[in-house]
Structure 1
Amino acid sequence: MTVDEFVSRSHILHRSFTESPAKVIAGDGINLILEDGSRVIDASCGPSVSCLGHSQPEITKGIVSHLQNDIAYVYSGSPYTNGATEELATMLLANKPGGLSKAIFVNSGSEATDAALKLAVQYWHEKGQPQRTHFIARKQSYHGNTIGALCVSGHESRRAYYKDFMSSNVSFVDPCYAYRMKHDHESDQSFVDRLARQFEDEIIRVGPDRIAGFVAETVSGTTLGCLTAVPGYFKAIRDICDRYEILLILDEIICGMGKTGTMHAWEQEGIRGPDIQTIGKALGAGFVPLSGVLLHEKIFDSLSTGSGGLAHGHTFQAHPLACAAAVAAQKIISQQKLVESAKSMGKKLEALLRKEIEPLPLVGDIRGRGLFWAVEFVLSKEHKTPFPIEANFCSRVVKQSLEMGLNILGNLGHTGEYQVDHIMVCPPYTVTDGELEEIVAILKTAIIRTSQPFTEST
């Protein structure tokens, strides 16, 4: 491997050593502005983070105002609170969606996952069932990069170096990946029944009285590419969790906060909601690092009648400045009705993808919801033949797109049994009709150019 000269010189340990990163000097709406003056359309919002684009004067104003008129830092472990943190929690939970009534604010999605797992275990301790420490998660899932979060993530390549650290109290069941896992002539209901039986069988194998919770992404992110569950799946999962008194923990770090056309992705699944939910990314719209854990009132009730506190905390938990920035972001989303916009613009994006991208010879599946979409590539549409890992097809599409001024996101490493070559198109909630058309036009050309060596040989 040849290490890039700039990467070698830089005092930052960059995540890739082989290519010199372009320097971003500013943002303008949906665009990134580079040091050479060129513009790149950010159609992925990074890893689906910058949902309001890259320039929002009201958020800048909110941050500056907070620093001028309020406190920059308050330690959450002290006997103090602050206005910004209280306001953000009230904005999110005043109506108790699905019974969710309390929030924990931390920095990253990984921290949120760790907090959710610890919260679940503490809940069972408070309930007098300390033996409930086992979690069931799904294969080819991703919940974060800390050790705790990786333990419940079914992402093989990200777990590989750290197998010796992985917890033995986690087991995995199949994801709801209909494109590859649903049998020929199998109905959606039969597929759901099969996955539900597998989940229940795993509960019985482990022992229901040992299981703390089931962890799942409501809509899968980078591992399976904006994968939505077939109708009825989460209702079946919720029913089984209730039957065995297992906590349902839904990860909406990447897919939540309006991205799928409702504030919470689970609102479209016909369930009452989760017991614990993680949120992030779009919460602060990328202007600050911020994520959160939302918990059902029954969790709080058990803690409050038990030990009377949370056995978990971080130095920068509930950071006032971060919460103030998120308050400003959420006000914009509410006032401009951007969740509704994500739903309506998402329908336009879907129509464009199905018209322009789906007919291409190496496109196998298009899936998503709201402004959260992915394209999966295959060598053969008929047989759904995946590309070999070494072909690195989706990364080639990402690179070709970038050369044409379009930033999209590809899958992040080998994730498990199924080789999934996909790219994600997740533009900001503020995207216009014209920008959607430009995004899809560039993407189409990039896919055609990347496909040529493979289509010409067949």
Structure 2
Amino acid sequence: MTDEFVDRSHILHRAFSERPAKIVGGRNGKKVIDASCGPSVSCLGHSQPEVFDAITSHLKNDIAYVYSGSPYTNGATEELADILLADKPGGLSKAIFVNSGSEATDAALKLAVQYWHERGQPQRTHFISRKQSYHGNTIGALCVSGHASRREFYKDFLSSNVSFLDPCYAYRMKGEHESDQEFAQRLAHQFENEVLRVGPDRVAGFIAETVSGTTLGCLPAVPGYFKAIRDICDKYEILLILDEIICGMGKTGTMHAWEQEGIRGPDIQTIGKALGGGFVPLSGVLLHQKIFDALSAGSGGLAHGHTFQAHPLACAAAVATQKIIKRDNLIERVAQMGHKLGKLLSEEIGPLPLVGDIRGRGLFWAVEFVLDKNSKTAFSPKDNFCGKVVKNALSSGLNILGNLGHTGEYQVDHVLVCPPYITTDAELENIVSILKAAVLETSHPFVEG
């Protein structure tokens, strides 16, 4: 049944059955603790005067818009790229700035294809991705996303040059007597076998979220997984594309989530969300020097572009955001507060009867719910357990995020707890306390007695 407000609103809201509450500002009205930062975006909270000042100053003193396809550049865009890449992390040396994370994925895929054209191997157009992954909602990004329900309507549009492997989902997929190392090697063998099946000379790249986000719930890979993947990519000259749109830019306690994986880095990396803190839409693609060298020696340009690519105002907001993060040592703080949040979740939420797994890094955590802890029996999608937890938490003033639809073979009922980098000890305790009460309330119909 369609809500009356949604019915008469000229906005096509994403959900029709429930009236959205109107947000006036980040400081006024009913108090709600945003413990998910939207979909893990607002890393500095919703009110940051320094960023506001940077935006207004830019509009007053600098040019509002520069077309990236013109023979011009601007200071804000150059400065943001310098902040991110001055030290060339993992060999990454160039940036493309676009609007949404989906656009970043599209740009990354096109960049990979162009790279192989420039290298004289235009037949390399096949991508290998993972089941129950999410890389964005445009058609191009959906092609490499293993999100079942989001792909459903658009199957006829989706590319046939993508194949999908198992995710590194140890909680449900690791054998009873299998070690992390054995599990990682099994998945690595699956990857190499798929490369051989497709043909190494046809594979353009392997794309994966370094830490899975909304589909599998803040899921890190087991130790050694990404090292094995990196080695196979190097063996067959396949580009490793890491999606850090949701998990990167400090979210897991290091600037880049891959820094905790013992690898030299990706060939192409997507970033977003915490890049600009949500104040102005912005995402990006970072590319290794070897990608630039191939383009430079070949066509001498980028065969991709958008009207609002490298938008000066968005980059100015991100510059201010990144300067605050660096000045206030917030990434180090994320690591410290992340240990506290993980401990609180494990101690207070972990023992609850319908909680199966708690996982995450930094300030990027998820709680997975199950009907039975021993068998790991999942809830039916009709139960909408995590959705009810989200609703009950919100009624007590806590905003968290549940899973976003049916993602594939494994039903993953989870909620994300991803507070801003500026969160306090008291706020973490309050978040976990309200969440615990919401989980207990939602559990009553499913727990005997």
Cα distance in 2 between the residues matched to 1:16 and 1:141 = 22
Answer yes or no: is 1:418 the counterpart of 2:417. no
Structure 2 SS opposite 1:294: strand
Answer yes or no: is 1:3 the counterpart of 2:10. no
Deviations 1:186-235 (A, max 9, x none): 00111011101100000000000000000000000000000000000000
Deviations 1:300-348 (A, max 9, x none): 0000010000000000000000000000000000000000000000000
Structure 2 SS opposite 1:159: helix
Answer yes or no: is 1:389 the counterpart of 2:388. no
Cα distance in 1 between the residues matched to 2:361 and 2:376 = 22
Deviations 1:62-85 (A, max 9, x none): 001101110000000000000000
Cα distance in 2 between the residues matched to 1:409 and 1:388 = 19
Alignment partner, residue 362 of structure 1: 354
Alignment partner, residue 260 of structure 1: 252
Cα distance in 2 between the residues matched to 1:389 and 1:320 = 43
1:171 to 129, 140, 163: 163
Alignment partner, residue 341 of structure 1: 333
Cα distance in 1 between the residues matched to 2:41 and 2:381 = 27
Cα distance in 1 between the residues matched to 2:352 and 2:263 = 36
Cα distance in 2 between the residues matched to 1:185 and 1:50 = 41
Answer yes or no: is 1:452 the counterpart of 2:444. yes
Alignment partner, residue 57 of structure 1: 49
Shift of 1:39: 1.0
Alignment partner, residue 143 of structure 1: 135
TM-score under structure 1 length normalisation:
0.98
Cα distance in 2 between the residues matched to 1:193 and 1:98 = 24
2:176 to 154, 177, 184: 184
Alignment partner, residue 24 of structure 1: 23
1:328 to 315, 320, 325: 320
1:318 to 310, 323, 330: 310
Alignment partner, residue 186 of structure 2: 194
Alignment partner, residue 353 of structure 1: 345
Alignment partner, residue 152 of structure 2: 160
Answer yes or no: is 1:434 the counterpart of 2:426. yes
Deviations 1:253-284 (A, max 9, x none): 00000000000000000000000000000000
TM-score under structure 2 length normalisation:
1.00
Structure 2 SS opposite 1:27: coil
Percent identical among aligned pairs is 80
Alignment partner, residue 69 of structure 1: 61
Shift of 1:456: 2.7
Deviations 1:151-189 (A, max 9, x none): 000000000000000100000000000000000010011
**5 Å matches for 1:243-254?**
243-254=235-246
Structure 2 SS opposite 1:215: strand
Deviations 1:224-249 (A, max 9, x none): 00000000000000000000000000
Cα distance in 2 between the residues matched to 1:235 and 1:53 = 34
Deviations 1:57-115 (A, max 9, x none): 00000001101110000000000000000000000000000000000000000000000
Answer yes or no: is 1:241 the counterpart of 2:233. yes
Cα distance in 2 between the residues matched to 1:38 and 1:65 = 31
Answer yes or no: is 1:103 the counterpart of 2:104. no
Q: Give, as a single letter, the amino acid of the residue that structure 2 aligns with 1:27.
A: G
Q: Give, as a single letter, the amino acid of the residue that structure 2 aligns with 1:238.
A: R
Q: Give, as a single letter, the amino acid of the residue that structure 1 aligns with 2:156.
A: D
Q: Give, as a single letter, the amino acid of the residue that structure 2 aligns with 1:248.
A: L
Aligned residues: 449
Alignment partner, residue 127 of structure 1: 119
Q: Give, as a single letter, the amino acid of the residue that structure 1 aligns with 2:363.
A: L
RMSD: 0.5
Q: Give, as a single letter, the amino acid of the residue that structure 2 aligns with 1:360.
A: L
